[in-house]
Amino acid sequence: MPKAEASAVSSLAPAVAGDVTATAVQARQQTEGEAHQADRAFHAMLARLTGGISPVALLLAYTDWLLHLAASPQRQIEISQEAVQDAKRLIESAQQYPKPDQEPWSLIKPQPQDRRFARPEWESPPFNLFAQAFLLGEQWWHNATTGVRGVAKQNEAIVEFSVRQMLNVLAPSNFAATNPEVLQKAFQSGGENFLLGWQNFCSDWMRLLSGGKASANAGDFVVGETVATSRGKVVFRNELIELIQYYPVTGKVHPEPILIVPAWIMKYYILDLSPQNSLVSYLTGQGFTVFMISWRNPGAADRDIAFDDYRVLGAEAALATIEDIVPGRQVHALGYCLGGTLLSIAAATMAREGDNRLKSINLLAAQTDFTEAGELTLFINESQVTFLEDMTWQHGVLDTTQMAGAFQLLRSNDLIWSRMTRDYLIGERAPPSDLMAWNADATRLPYRMHSEYLRNLFLDNDLAEGRYLVEGKPISLSDIHTPMFVAGTLRDHVAPWKSTYKINLLVDADVTYLLTSGGHNAGIVAPPSEQGHSYRVRTKPAHATYTGPDEWLKTVAPVEGSWWPEWTKWLAARSGELSEPPRMGTAEGRNLPDAPGDYVRG
């Protein structure tokens, strides 16, 4: 070979080698990508069988518990002795039956929130014995799955929760032969209750197969006709929200409008149900101008909508529209549930940028620190989050049934088994209600947003710990100096009140914390016309010393009644003098529909 040619070949060799290497890398990356997609598809298929629960996460939790229990002989002896003692007590109690003077629930009482055995029929033998045997077994399993030294706290909680769910299936209240209410109904109706129950079952099954999302308990509640009926107009629309402005019902209004940012894991009209329990109606009646965001229900094509898109296209777009309608006015911003988390992120971002458009920040059952976020966090670990990501990746969204099922599982006794007993064994439907109709009107979550929500907030707790990035830069809740009104609910299973109370540790602002009776929804929807509500409230100035939640609960006296008047009094004290109502919308929004708009029907 001539020297020149050899030199040319030699000079080309690195380039050729580089091309070969690049091609090999691309081929390897493509192969890994295809394998990754195959893994995701397999996980998505598996999720349909497990209800979205990662079997790996469950197996790791049980392995942790079982191995540590196997290495704890003293703990084994203790739980064995407890089993023997419980059996002995139960046998002795059975031998003494029946005694006229014997008190019901003489061995063990159910938890206050457990209403499965609350009716008088359960106090008679042998049903009292059935219930006590079950409750003793339930207590024994709780003690056996907790308190084992060395087990990770989250794994212990996973095991205890999953065992409790399995025991709930076996409760005597779930079976006709051991449920006195069912037997009594059968005797009274000549067995007709079982026929009616079968009809209810078939009706529900056909509704499920047909893909119908309306609940059998939704009744005649129709959006825009019997629920979400407050008069208003959509004044702005983009690809993610419709912004509703409600008509004033008083001659003069406070100059600062209220912007409500609801969660997008639910339809907005939880705060505008029937006229008698509508927060929107109550606020307009108190002389406030109210704006409400109505989120569009995403579909598979919206899989890449990011969490921050909800801030930009939601809260920021709404504030910009309000500024066009009422220029120069500060806004009372209210966020409910996940909407409150989003509002906190938006407020911290605005504080970082020196934006002072917020007059007050109001959070209802909203979390900003997710370290104690209740039983929703049981399966929030790397294994479970990856599994959920793969499940939503295939469909582009977290489906409505998966979302509803997760919340029902947290209160399975009330929302699953008690309902099935009533519907299918007793043969009676619960009376339809606006809350049931709203609860059946489920929504979906985009794949990317759902993944970022689980990872950045639940798994890594970035917002509370100063790592949450907005536009590439971290935000800090401690930059918030705007007065805050924060409401938690005493029996919240979605946003536990002690978790919402942590806002006192995170912001540098005056915080008025209110704890109301009830749960995540019923505690918030608490109109003054309803009886049975109560609340506790106290304001902590920005530089006051911290009081822990347990001490706070002991030292703050309860007040009977709805918390709504307390809040509107707080808002009025931070609002200007009454003035003429603002105009309705802008010229650009003239052709948009009246409330409740179009997105809520999606």
Residues carrying an active site annotation:
337
Four-residue CA torsion sign, 340, 346, 351, 352: positive
**Coil, helix or strand for 234?**
strand
The rounded Cα 21 to chain-centroid distance in angstroms is 50
For the record, the structure tokens of 60 come out as: 């790791």
**Coil, helix or strand for 481?**
coil
Question: Strand (E) positions, 278-376?
Answer: 290-295, 331-336, 358-364
* Residue among 510, 492, 388 nearest 55 (CA): 388
Measured between alpha carbons, how far is residue 406 from residues 3, 51, 69, 217 in Å? 75, 9, 29, 19
The torsion angle over the Cα atoms of residues 88, 93, 97 and 98, rounded to 10 degrees, is 180
**Coil, helix or strand for 241?**
strand
In angstroms, the CA 304 to CA 397 distance is 10
In angstroms, the CA 479 to CA 481 distance is 6
In angstroms, the CA 236 to CA 589 distance is 6
* Residue among 444, 263, 242 nearest 340 (CA): 263
In angstroms, the CA 469 to CA 283 distance is 34
**DSSP string covering 366-421:** --S--TT-GGGGTT-SHHHHHHHHHHHHHHSEE-HHHHHHHHHHHTHIIIIIHHHI
In angstroms, the CA 552 to CA 558 distance is 11
| Ramachandran bin of 512, using left for φ above 0, alpha for ψ from -120 to 50, beta for the remaining angles | beta
For the record, the structure tokens of 200 come out as: 């209810």
CB–CB of 461/369 below 8 Å? Answer: yes
* Residue among 558, 512, 511 nearest 532 (CA): 558
In angstroms, the CA 596 to CA 242 distance is 9
In angstroms, the CA 328 to CA 325 distance is 10
Count other Cβ atoms within 10 Å, centred on residue 367.
Answer: 29
Q: CB-hemisphere CA count at 13 Å for 242?
A: 25
Four-residue CA torsion sign, 417, 221, 445, 495: negative
In angstroms, the CA 376 to CA 494 distance is 7
For the record, the structure tokens of 385 come out as: 């989050």
The rounded Cα 392 to chain-centroid distance in angstroms is 18
For the record, the structure tokens of 78 come out as: 């203790």
For the record, the structure tokens of 142 come out as: 């709780």
CB–CB of 293/318 below 8 Å? Answer: yes
What single DSSP character describes residue 432?
Answer: P
